[in-house]
Amino acid sequence: MLEIDAAIGRLVRGLKEQRIYEETVIVFSSDHGMSAFETKPVSIEPADALKKAGFNVATSNGQLKSDTEVIILAFGVRPIYFRNLPLARPGQAVKVLNTIKGVEMLDRKKLDPAGLS
């Protein structure tokens, strides 16, 4: 906390020295942390499993194409976004993901009551 406080102090001093402090908004954000999920090993990476099953998957902005069906962000926890999927494909993707040992799917039914949406 002391390091963060000192860094904020340097930031504020710098803004004042540049005479832009009064026009600056400083916003602090924090991750809610999901360490139990981040350290959980999986038998195969979800992106690899979905690619193997024939899905067009992007794991970075550079891989994103017009035919991308699934976007997976891997930061320990792996948010998975479906896009441009024909009607039956989301169900197929969920089936593939459910076959991965160590995967726990958090869908609306689990997220909404927990306040994690």
pLDDT of residue 108: 74
Residue 71 tokens read as 């976007």
Q: Is 31 exposed, middle or buried (0-12, 13-18, 19+ CB in 10 A)?
A: exposed
Reported as a single tens digit per residue, the pLDDT across 49-95 is: 999 999 999 998 899 999 999 999 876 678 888 888 888 898 999 99
pLDDT mean across residues, the chain: 84
pLDDT of residue 47: 93
- Which residue in this structure is represented by tokens 């992007």? 58
Residue 91 tokens read as 């169900």
CA–CA distance from 89 to each of 2, 53, 69, 83, 95 (Å)? Answer: 50, 11, 9, 10, 10
d(CA 50, CA 18) in angstroms, rounded, equals: 50
pTM, two decimal places: 0.62
Q: Which residues contact 106 (CB under 8 A, 6 or more apart)?
A: 116
- What is the Rg, in whole angstroms, of the alpha carbon atoms belonging to the chain? 20
